[in-house]
């Protein structure tokens, strides 16, 4: 079933806040109260009745994180099986000598002890417990019965008589001190070594006077240098375990200096309130200050783990492969004897999960890629692939726009995947705007009729045919009468372009040393198969080079810090149709310097980036604070005569600062009640009645409204209320232009849908330019192409009708003399571009090339382009502008 409707009409509320929340609540009801308190529980839905609901699984748009250590392989559980495979069938090699380790005789171990004892006292330890949870009092009792008086517990020497039970749920490592050898007791080395190896089952550890530990083993030692290794264990290959993680980077694969972080806030958010600043500080790590760990070279593992091989492959070499490459390597592995028995149970599990990754269009992703670098769409499909491997039956899957970030060609495979899940005996509820998904749905529920307070009703329900017959459905209107491109009747001519941006020799990630150029002053779209290199081109080549050329003072972004690719060059150059690429200079370094010359002043002088990073996550973040109009509103209230007479500053009108806010609820408007093993609940504050401010602050009125009243206004109402104040009204009018006029100024950001949040972020950047067409004088003063806007999939979460509004905003930006470059898969946006750069032909290593470039009509004729067949259909079947107006 597909739930559709305008952005903000209530789709996610029905799917996640009602159906999934109720399904989770019923599942948790089957658990004990003790177990429930360890689970983050959703609030009970405010509904009368939900019947026929099976167990639910939610697969949302959120980016999978995991403390910086989650990878594609761990999220899909591929890495769990790889660890087992390497632990059971791998061969340990010495990191120093690169030789396979061999069994070591007891005599050679005794000789090693005698040599070490001549340099100082040496305690010989026998391992008893290795990283196991528990009290372990039985170990101490055993040691006492055997006549031993000292244990080595978690790195400390502890007398057996003073041993106390350990923390039950923490891993502990315990050795018994078998004996001490020094220059005067070398003769005892043989007996002590024999006893230690017997207790330790072939392994002992030596502790010298400097607290350094050395492993000796009759099973695992290097034939050249004698270095001993412990028996292979799955934990050795875990970068979350002290047994396997790189000691220098702690298993992150990179290191950074917190003192060097810029402390930049997320774009658009006010930083006046200390609590909001503290929230951002806890979330945000400036990736620009991170660098690859010099010890593990990004593999996250220690040297011993990196030198275990299975038929020539180390585990980090394997995870560096894409899912598609890994599938081919796994298929070629051949095992014999005992290894074959072990591999028979593991290889199919790995192959199945790799196959599912390719099925959902993610075969290009490297298994070791950090999960936090994935887009929302990639992250969602990764979890979808993991669910395919679970083989569950009778489950209700709730998915939030699974087609986001997916090229139209790959939609078919994704829809087949969803059909497979359904045919296994599961039910699927998909929140989606994609036309093809709707056509494949068994049932559609269309919410509306509009968004926000004007939505929340079932407009149409049934098959696609049933929905299309409904005259009140905005979805039906868009399906029956698609857009005709270009919507304004004609495109901007490339012949009129005076300046171009050109990147020469781009080769970051999978880019194949390509030359790419973009015209200044028009709307350009970068498209191509998912994973073909679009984001790399924009964020790792174009953006850093622009920043480097213009200087950081002219660069604005949520958290600076992207380092430029030193292998490519960027140049701003005047258009010369006679020379085309022959105008590229012979000296690339010179071109970079020329880009900084004053003669390029008519090109780009500022860059604004709108990416997919999340907005505020607490109720202290609202549309008003996010676009910073609330700062102007607070200033206005502080300038009122009564405020000046009382000495109220603008901070008095902040619900995040002491003085003006209600101290009972700390400016939240609600009180959170912790319920331990039940979900937390919120009640309206009895003192301020949800208005966030104390009585004295609410006494200050502007046009008979307090600041608490203003927070309850919709954006449409607020724009009219503050029409005499351009600094407040203009951003609000831009929000209205993008279809967000129904939101309240004080609506908490976590309640916004994905589409609403995306447009709010877009407006935050767009308002920095000239935002109203009425400012003709300022528009005429601006130079063509003076600001470059970089957008990544701005259509995420948008209904077809909302995309029409977005296109108008993008066109207006260009009309005002700016340059807009968009990464997009949505065919309406692609067909509306003045210029297209199509990357491919495929994903990963099979991509990274410029397949086609030019106008949509020119790209549509290209036989190599994977976008062309779909673009041709859109250009030939869309409705005329007259139908749009109707």
- The verdict on 39 and 121 lying in the same domain is no
How does pLDDT run across 117-151, given as a tens digit for each residue?
888 899 999 999 988 899 999 999 999 999 999 99
Query: What total of structural domains would you count in the chain?
Result: 3
Question: What's the rounded mean pLDDT across residues 150-164?
Answer: 94
- The verdict on 21 and 112 lying in the same domain is no
How does pLDDT run across 778-829, given as a tens digit for each residue?
344 444 447 899 998 888 888 898 898 889 989 988 988 889 999 999 999 9
Integer distance in angstroms from the first to the last C-alpha of the chain?
30
488 assigned to some structural domain: no
- The verdict on 502 and 471 lying in the same domain is no
Cross-strand partners of 500: 519, 573
How does pLDDT run across 84-116, given as a tens digit for each residue?
999 999 999 999 999 888 777 888 888 888 888
pLDDT at 236 over 50: yes
Q: 201 is written with which tokens?
A: 């089952």
Strand order in the sheet with 308-310: 91-92, 308-310, 313-314
pLDDT-based confidence at 281, cuts 50/70/90? Answer: very low
Q: Using CA atoms, how far apart are residues 615 and 679, in angstroms rounded to an integer?
A: 24
Residue-level pLDDT at 400: 87
Taking residue 21's Cβ as centre, other Cβ atoms within 10 Å add up to 23
- The verdict on 224 and 117 lying in the same domain is yes
| Cα-Cα-Cα-Cα dihedral sign, residues 596, 600, 601, 603 | negative
- The verdict on 51 and 125 lying in the same domain is no
Q: Using CA atoms, how far apart are residues 447 and 386, in angstroms rounded to an integer?
A: 30
Q: Give the domain-ending residue among 418, 446, 480.
A: 480
Q: Using CA atoms, how far apart are residues 399 and 591, in angstroms rounded to an integer?
A: 48
446 in Cβ contact with 458 (< 8 Å): yes
* Sequence-ordered list of residues with C-beta below 8 angstroms from that of 515, at least 6 positions apart, any chain: 502, 503, 504, 505, 506, 581, 584, 850
| Cα-Cα-Cα-Cα dihedral sign, residues 296, 299, 304, 309 | negative
Q: Give the CATH number, domain containing residue 215.
A: 3.30.190.20
C-alpha dist (Å) from residue 531 to 403, 535, 849: 14, 8, 12
pLDDT at 498 over 80: yes
513 assigned to some structural domain: yes
- Quote the mean pLDDT of the chain: 82
pLDDT at 278 over 60: no
Which candidate, 828, 3, 755, 19, places its Cα nearest to that of 448? 3
* Sequence-ordered list of residues with C-beta below 8 angstroms from that of 749, at least 6 positions apart, any chain: 615, 616, 617, 618, 619, 621, 622, 623, 626, 757
- The verdict on 534 and 465 lying in the same domain is no
CA 511 to chain centre: 22
Question: What's the rounded mean pLDDT across residues 725-740?
Answer: 88
Q: Using CA atoms, how far apart are residues 478 and 465, in angstroms rounded to an integer?
A: 14
The H-assigned helical ranges of 538-628 are: 543-550, 588-595, 623-626
Residue-level pLDDT at 257: 56
pLDDT at 586 over 70: no
pTM value? 0.74
C-alpha dist (Å) from residue 223 to 197, 205, 227, 304, 768: 19, 18, 8, 16, 67
18 assigned to some structural domain: yes
CA 247 to chain centre: 26
132 in Cβ contact with 212 (< 8 Å): no
pLDDT at 771 over 60: no
Q: 684 is written with which tokens?
A: 């309206």
381 assigned to some structural domain: no
Burial bucket for residue 183 (CB in 10 Å: 0-12, 13-18, 19+): exposed
Structural element, H or E, at residue 386: helix 376-388
Question: What's the rounded mean pLDDT across residues 261-272?
Answer: 38
* Sequence-ordered list of residues with C-beta below 8 angstroms from that of 72, at least 6 positions apart, any chain: 78, 323, 357, 362, 365, 366, 367, 368, 369, 371, 374, 382
Which candidate, 457, 776, 785, places its Cα nearest to that of 607? 785
333 in Cβ contact with 31 (< 8 Å): no
How does pLDDT run across 521-568, given as a tens digit for each residue?
999 999 999 889 998 999 889 998 888 777 643 444 333 333 333 344
Cross-strand partners of 207: 123, 213
Q: Which of 261-265, 388-392, 476-480 has the lowest mean pLDDT?
A: 261-265
Structural element, H or E, at residue 885: helix 881-885
pLDDT-based confidence at 677, cuts 50/70/90? Answer: low
868 assigned to some structural domain: yes
Q: Using CA atoms, how far apart are residues 580 and 706, in angstroms rounded to an integer?
A: 61
Q: How many H helices and E strands in the chain?
A: 35, 29
pLDDT-based confidence at 675, cuts 50/70/90? Answer: low
Q: 162 is written with which tokens?
A: 């003073």
Residue-level pLDDT at 38: 67
Q: 82 is written with which tokens?
A: 């790889």
pLDDT-based confidence at 678, cuts 50/70/90? Answer: low
Cross-strand partners of 159: 150
- The verdict on 503 and 474 lying in the same domain is no
The H-assigned helical ranges of 397-491 are: 408-423, 435-440, 464-468, 474-480
Residue-level pLDDT at 509: 84
Cross-strand partners of 72: none
Gyration radius of the chain's alpha carbons: 32
* Sequence-ordered list of residues with C-beta below 8 angstroms from that of 622, at least 6 positions apart, any chain: 630, 711, 744, 745, 746, 747, 748, 749
How does pLDDT run across 13-47, given as a tens digit for each residue?
999 989 999 988 888 888 777 777 666 677 788 88
642 assigned to some structural domain: no
C-alpha dist (Å) from residue 477 to 449, 471, 474, 804, 827: 12, 8, 5, 13, 18
139 in Cβ contact with 208 (< 8 Å): no
Which candidate, 837, 828, 880, places its Cα nearest to that of 858? 837
Full residue range of the structural domain in which residue 829 is found = 496-605+783-886
How does pLDDT run across 420-479, given as a tens digit for each residue?
889 989 999 999 999 899 999 999 999 999 888 888 999 999 999 999 999 999 999 998
169 assigned to some structural domain: yes
Cross-strand partners of 840: 849
Q: Give the domain-ending residue among 480, 508, 527.
A: 480
- Tell me which of 594 and 63 has the higher pLDDT: 63
- The verdict on 401 and 468 lying in the same domain is yes
Question: What's the rounded mean pLDDT across residues 620-639?
Answer: 91
- The verdict on 551 and 438 lying in the same domain is no
- Half-sphere exposure of residue 747: CA atoms within 13 angstroms, side-chain side: 22
pLDDT at 297 over 60: yes
pLDDT at 666 over 60: yes
- The verdict on 108 and 174 lying in the same domain is yes
CA 174 to chain centre: 40
Strand order in the sheet with 514-519: 514-519, 499-506, 569-574
Taking residue 770's Cβ as centre, other Cβ atoms within 10 Å add up to 22
Residue-level pLDDT at 768: 62
Q: In the chain, pLDDT over 70 holds for what percent of residues?
A: 83
Q: Using CA atoms, how far apart are residues 885 and 883, in angstroms rounded to an integer?
A: 5
- The verdict on 227 and 118 lying in the same domain is yes
- The verdict on 52 and 123 lying in the same domain is no
Q: Give the domain-ending residue among 453, 480, 507.
A: 480
112 assigned to some structural domain: yes
How does pLDDT run across 570-585, given as a tens digit for each residue?
555 444 333 333 333 3
Q: Give the CATH number, domain containing residue 397.
A: 3.40.50.300
Q: Which of 295-304, 445-454, 609-618, 772-781 has the lowest mean pLDDT?
A: 772-781
């Amino acid at each position: 079933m597909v739930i559709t409707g305008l952005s903000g009409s209530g789709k996610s509320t029905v799917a996640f806040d009602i159906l999934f929340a109720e399904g989770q609540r019923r599942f948790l009801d089957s658990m004990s109260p003790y177990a429930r308190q360890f689970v983050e529980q959703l609030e009970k839905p405010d509904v009368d009745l939900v019947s026929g609901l099976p167990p639910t699984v939610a697969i949302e748009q959120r980016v999978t994180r995991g403390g910086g250590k989650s990878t594609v392989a761990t999220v899909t559980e591929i890495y769990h099986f790889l660890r087992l495979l390497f632990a059971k069938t791998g061969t340990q090699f010495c990191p120093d000598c690169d030789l396979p380790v061999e069994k070591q005789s007891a005599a050679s171990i005794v000789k090693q002890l005698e040599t070490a004892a001549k340099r100082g006292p040496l305690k010989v330890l026998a391992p008893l417990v290795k990283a196991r949870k528990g009290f372990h009092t039985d170990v101490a009792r055993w040691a006492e019965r055997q006549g031993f008086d000292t244990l080595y517990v978690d790195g400390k020497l502890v007398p057996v008589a003073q041993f106390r039970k350990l923390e039950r749920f923490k891993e502990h490592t315990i050795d018994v001190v078998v004996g001490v050898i020094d220059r005067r007791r070398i003769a005892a080395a043989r007996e002590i070594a024999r006893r230690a190896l017997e207790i330790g089952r072939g392994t002992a550890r030596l502790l010298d006077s400097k607290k350094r530990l050395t492993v000796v083993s009759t099973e695992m030692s290097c034939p050249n240098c004698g270095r001993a290794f412990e028996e292979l264990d799955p934990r050795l290959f875990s970068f979350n375990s002290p047994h396997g993680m790189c000691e220098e980077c702690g298993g992150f694969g990179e290191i950074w200096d917190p003192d060097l972080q810029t402390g930049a806030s997320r774009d658009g958010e006010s930083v006046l309130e200390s609590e909001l600043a503290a929230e951002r500080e806890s979330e945000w790590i400036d990736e620009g200050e991170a660098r690859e760990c010099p010890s593990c070279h990004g593999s996250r593992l220690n040297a011993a783990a990196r030198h275990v091989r299975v038929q020539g492959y180390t585990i980090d070499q394997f995870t560096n492969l894409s899912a598609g490459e890994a599938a081919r390597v796994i298929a070629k592995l051949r095992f014999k004897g005992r290894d074959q028995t072990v591999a028979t149970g593991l290889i199919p599990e790995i192959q199945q999960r790799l196959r599912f990754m390719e099925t959902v269009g993610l075969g290009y992703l490297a298994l070791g890629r950090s999960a936090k670098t994935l887009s929302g769409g990639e992250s969602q499909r990764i979890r979808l692939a993991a669910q395919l491997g679970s083989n569950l039956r009778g489950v209700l899957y709730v998915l939030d726009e699974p087609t986001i970030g997916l090229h139209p060609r790959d939609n078919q495979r994704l829809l087949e995947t969803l059909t497979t899940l359904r045919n296994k005996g599961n039910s699927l509820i998909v929140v989606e705007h994609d036309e093809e998904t709707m056509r494949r749905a068994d049932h559609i529920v269309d919410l509306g009729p509009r968004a926000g307070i004007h939505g929340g009703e079932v407009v149409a329900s049934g098959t696609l045919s049933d929905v299309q017959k409904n005259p009140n459905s905005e979805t039906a209107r868009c399906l029956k009468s698609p857009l005709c491109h270009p919507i304004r009747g004609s495109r901007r001519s490339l012949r009129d372009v005076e300046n171009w941006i050109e990147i020469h020799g781009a080769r970051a990630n999978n880019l194949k040393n390509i030359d790419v150029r973009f015209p200044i002053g028009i709307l350009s779209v970068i498209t191509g198969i998912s994973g073909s290199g679009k984001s790399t081109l924009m964020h790792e080549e174009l953006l850093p080079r622009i920043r480097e050329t213009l200087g950081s003072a002219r660069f604005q972004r949520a958290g600076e810090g992207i380092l430029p690719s030193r292998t490519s060059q960027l140049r701003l150059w005047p258009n010369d149709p006679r020379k085309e690429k022959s105008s590229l200079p012979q000296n690339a370094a010179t071109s970079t310097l020329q880009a900084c010359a004053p003669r390029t002043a008519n090109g780009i002088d500022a860059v604004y980036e709108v990416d997919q990073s999340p907005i505020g996550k607490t109720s202290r973040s609202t549309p008003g604070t996010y676009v910073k109009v609330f700062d102007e509103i607070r200033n206005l209230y502080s300038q009122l005569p009564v405020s000046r007479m009382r000495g109220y500053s603008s901070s008095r009108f902040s619900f995040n600062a002491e003085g003006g806010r209600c101290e009972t609820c700390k400016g939240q408007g609600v009180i959170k009640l912790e319920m331990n093993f039940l979900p937390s609940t919120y009640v309206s504050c009895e003192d301020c009645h949800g208005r966030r401010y104390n009585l004295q602050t609410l006494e200050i009125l502007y046009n008979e409204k307090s600041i608490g009243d203003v927070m309850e206004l919709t954006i449409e109402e607020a724009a009219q209320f503050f029409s005499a104040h351009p600094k407040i009204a203009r951003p609000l009018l831009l929000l209205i232009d993008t279809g967000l006029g129904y939101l309240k100024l004080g609506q908490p950001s976590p309640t916004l849908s994905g589409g609403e949040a995306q447009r709010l972020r877009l407006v935050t950047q767009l308002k920095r330019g000239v935002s109203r067409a009425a400012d003709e004088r300022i528009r005429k003063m601006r130079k063509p192409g003076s600001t470059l806007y970089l957008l990544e999939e701005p259509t995420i979460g948008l209904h077809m009708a909302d995309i029409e509004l977005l296109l108008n905003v993008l066109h207006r930006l260009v009309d005002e003399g700016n340059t807009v470059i968009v990464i997009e898969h949505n065919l309406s946006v692609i067909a509306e571009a003045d210029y297209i750069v199509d990357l491919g032909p495929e994903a990963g290593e099979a991509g990274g090339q410029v397949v086609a470039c030019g106008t949509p009509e020119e790209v549509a004729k290209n036989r190599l382009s994977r976008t062309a067949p779909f673009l041709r259909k859109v250009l030939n079947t869309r409705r005329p502008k007259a139908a749009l107006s109707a």
